[in-house]
Structure 1
């Protein structure tokens, strides 16, 4: 691989941006196709499909045969609220392959003792989120049930295009949340992306069961895409 191509590839990885490395099998020539350049590439269709499915593949025949090596950032889960559900969710999400971080300004809850092996940021979301860097490969799970903590994080996640945005609360609680978000200027199309009540409808009752329901919904969003989700607010 050319050094300039390797440097560009590493820069995209460091910035958590998806890309496809195209290798023309006949000539051995390689090119890097970033997400913002897919439309102008001769293989725009296959590259777009490969990125959407997050799967590498061989395409074309004869001299046009090419291997599309897909590289997408590893999924992250940002949990707002160092609560009992979070204590069950964090280790399960890590096992499932998510890089998990907890944010909660309440220092009595946001402790390393309660969340071993998981980064805990004891700051308000407005303070912590700029340094964290939300992106489309991050799931945001808001669990404090406190509008002052959850809602700034929800607004930031929607603006960043996080692949999953969910919030704890009953339908009545969420209806009031929707009113507040709309009043603050959040577009209805964005508000509709919030999964609330959070989690798959499993009849979950305990914190651990709710955590299972949430993780299942997050994985569904990651693997099947938002367009096929259940549970998003209408």
Structure 2
């Protein structure tokens, strides 16, 4: 690999931005495609599919052969609410290779005993998220039902490129949430990014089932085909 390509690849890695090194296996020519440039690339469809898989591999496009070396940041999950659902979610997230962080200023809830081996931030979201920036490989989930805790996190998520944003609550609760977010300056196109009611519709009842439904929706958003604008 050329030094310039390697330098650019390392810069993208350091910034937690995805990129794909395209190698023409017939000619040996190489080029780097940054995530921001993917839609304009002639191999856009193949690159997107490979990037979403998170794995490198060989592809054939119109008779030409390429090896696509995928560099994708490890996906993260940031949760507001050290509640029963997030307790159940934490070990499941680890099995899915999701690096999870739980934010909750209520020290009685955010304890290492309740969340062993989990990044635990016992502070307000607006402060915690200064050190836990949200990016395109971050999923954000709000679980407290307390606007003082959930809303600042949701606002930060809506200002970011999070690949998934979800919030717990009934349709009535979410309606009031949308009113607050509108008052804070967020438009309908922005708040439409929020998955609410949260999670896949599997009839979940228990905290563990709700956690499973949420994680299923997160994986679908991360690995499934991109949703094209209507």
TM above 0.5, one fold?
yes
What RMSD in Å do the two structures reach over aligned CA positions? 2.2
Deviation at 1:53, TM superposition (A): 5.6
Give the paired residue count: 227
Note if contact 2:46-2:59 (Cα within 8 Å) is conserved in structure 1.
Answer: no
Aligned partner of 2:198 in structure 1 is 198
**Between structures 1 and 2, the one with greater helix share:** 1
Distance, in Å, in 1 between the alignment partners of 2:222 and 2:43 is 24
Distance apart, 1:226 and its partner CA = 6.3
- 1:52 Cα deviation from its structure 2 partner: 5.3
Helix, strand or coil for the counterpart of 1:112? coil
1:93 matched to 2:86: no
Q: Distance in 2 between matches of 1:142 and 1:179?
A: 16
1:7-18 counterparts in 2 under 5 A?
7-18=7-18
Aligned equivalent of 1:35: 35
For structure 2, list consecutive stretches of 5 or more residues without a partner in the other structure. none
SS at match of 2:130: helix
Cα deviation for residue 29 of structure 1 reads: 2.6
* TM-score, normalised by the number of residues in structure 1: 0.87
Match of 1:108 in 2: 108
Conservation of the 8 A alpha-carbon contact between 1:163 and 1:226: no
Residue matched to 1:19:
19
User: Cα–Cα, structure 1 residues 48 and 97, in superposed 2: closer, same or farther, change >3 Å?
Assistant: closer
Equivalence for 2:160:
160
When normalised by structure 2's length, the TM-score is 0.89
Per-residue CA distance 1:135-179 (angstroms, 9 max, x = gap):
111111101110011011111112212111111111111111111
- Residue 82 of structure 1 is matched in structure 2 by 82
Contact 1:16-1:73 within 8 A present in 2 as well: yes
Q: Given that residues 59 and 68 in structure 1 are in contact (C-alpha distance below 8 angstroms), is that contact kept between their aligned partners in structure 2?
A: no
Secondary structure of the corresponding residue to residue 59 of structure 1: strand
Asked if the contact 1:50–1:57 (Cα under 8 Å) also holds between the matched residues in 2, the reply is no
SS of 1:132's partner is: coil
For 1:7 and 1:45, the matched residues in 2 are separated by: 26
CA distance in 1, matches of 2:93, 2:39: 34
Instruction: Measure how far apart 1:57 and its partner are.
Output: 3.3
Would the alpha carbon gap of residues 89 and 57 (structure 1) be closer, same or farther in structure 2, given more than 3 Å must change?
Answer: same
Change in CA separation of 1:209 and 1:38 when aligned onto 2, cut-off 3 Å: closer
Of the structure 1 ranges 26-35 and 138-147, higher mean CA displacement relative to structure 2 is found in: 26-35
For structure 1, the 5+ residue unaligned runs are 229-234
Instruction: Give the CA deviation at 1:191.
Output: 0.9
Q: Distance in 2 between matches of 1:165 and 1:156?
A: 10
CA contact (8 A) 1:198 1:214 kept: yes
**CA 1:44–1:225: 2 relative to 1, 3 Å:** closer
> 2:26 and 2:227 mapped to 1: Cα distance?
37
